[in-house]
Amino acid sequence: MHFRLHPLPLRLARFAAIGRVALGAALMLSLAVPAHAQPAAAYPDKPIKLIVPFPAGGGGDTLARLVMLRAARELGQPIVVENLGGAGGNVGSATAARAAADGYTLLYGTNGTHAINHAIYKSPGFDPQRDFEPVGQLTRIAAMVVVRPTLPVSSMAELTQLLKASPGKYTFGSAGNGTTSHLAAEIYKSRAGLAVVHIPYRGGAQAMTDLIGGQVDMMIEVMPNAAPQARGARVKPLAVTTARRVAGWPDLPTIAESGLKGFDVSAWDAIFVPAGTPRPIVSQLNAAINKALADPELRSQLQSRGAEVASGTPEELARHVAASMALWGDAVKRSGAAVD
């Protein structure tokens, strides 16, 4: 007697065998995935360091803290500020460039660190485009012409007239060689045909202290540093350096209105991370900064210091850095400014 096996059980047996082989292969493949490919911990899961490459208490330090301590609330982790001043911001910037590209070291950068310094220093110690990923711009910043309280002038035109009448007699302070305050004054000197002696300091706060005390005669300083002193009548404000008047100081004329047509100088600041930082981290930081800058209270605080919110994308900041390097590089050449 002959028996025939039903074909269905055979097919089921084959399918079961194939399934076991596939399952085994999948398990072996999962075990072969390297540890670094496993999902990373959510960013950020610890405090973040922000390097401010200027001394504590200056205008840049104040702006950095105002914005980034507000951004820390969006990130859910504290941001710890570390002031590493020196060489017009080069020391702290170079330190940040060498940090791990993991999103836990940020750099507060400016038109000084990421543009002017590369025209005025032979070896800044870092490349602003190669060594950093742009995260987001914070503000555009006007500068203010301020003089010691006892200087016998009450307008920008009178200041220019006084300086022209006595070449080499008067002095201007700056936050240091190659800083915005130095270069803005050099441009003013060049445009007006003046001879004024430059006194560089280690930071804007020190220069402003000596201006208040009468050790120097004038200063063209970024408004976050100059405006509070002007409001307190510790120095006399004469003009702003931008093409248009500043919203927080509508009665203060521009240098262009005061006789030097076309004069337009402004600073800017932004946040950068070391090159190679993962794009998702850059995007998360950018979103936190932009959300902080949208806060009406913060915007009001910035405006009162002469800073205009300039939020945007990392790509926009990259284009801005490139344009700024060209602009300030040309200004350095035209002014003849140089680091001693």
Could you tell me the pTM of the whole model? Answer: 0.71
Compute CA 23 distance to the chain's CA centroid, rounded to the nearest angstrom.
Answer: 53
227's tokens: 């405006």
CATH numbers and ranges of domains, the chain:
48-141+267-335 (3.40.190.150), 142-258 (3.40.190.10)
Distance separating alpha carbons of residues 200 and 182, to the nearest angstrom: 8
Query: Average pLDDT of 318-336?
Result: 87
Nearest Cα neighbor of 49 from 299, 274, 291, 311 is: 274
Nearest Cα neighbor of 313 from 139, 136, 138, 114 is: 136
- Residue 13 scores a pLDDT above 50: no
Strand pairing partners for 267?
A: 141
Q: What is the per-residue pLDDT for 40?
A: 46
Q: What are 93-127's pLDDT values in tens digits?
A: 999 999 999 999 999 999 999 999 999 888 999 99
- Residue 296 scores a pLDDT above 80: yes
- Residue 282 scores a pLDDT above 50: yes
With beta carbons less than 8 A apart as the criterion, state whether 51 and 107 touch. yes
First to last CA, the chain: 111
Which amino acid, one-letter code, is at 309? V
Q: What are 38-88's pLDDT values in tens digits?
A: 334 699 999 999 999 999 988 889 999 999 999 999 999 999 999 999 888
Nearest Cα neighbor of 222 from 265, 255, 259 is: 265
Q: What is the per-residue pLDDT for 2?
A: 39
Strand pairing partners for 108?
A: 271
- Residue 276 scores a pLDDT above 60: yes
With beta carbons less than 8 A apart as the criterion, state whether 124 and 118 touch. yes
Torsion, Cα 97 101 102 104, to 10 degrees, reads 0
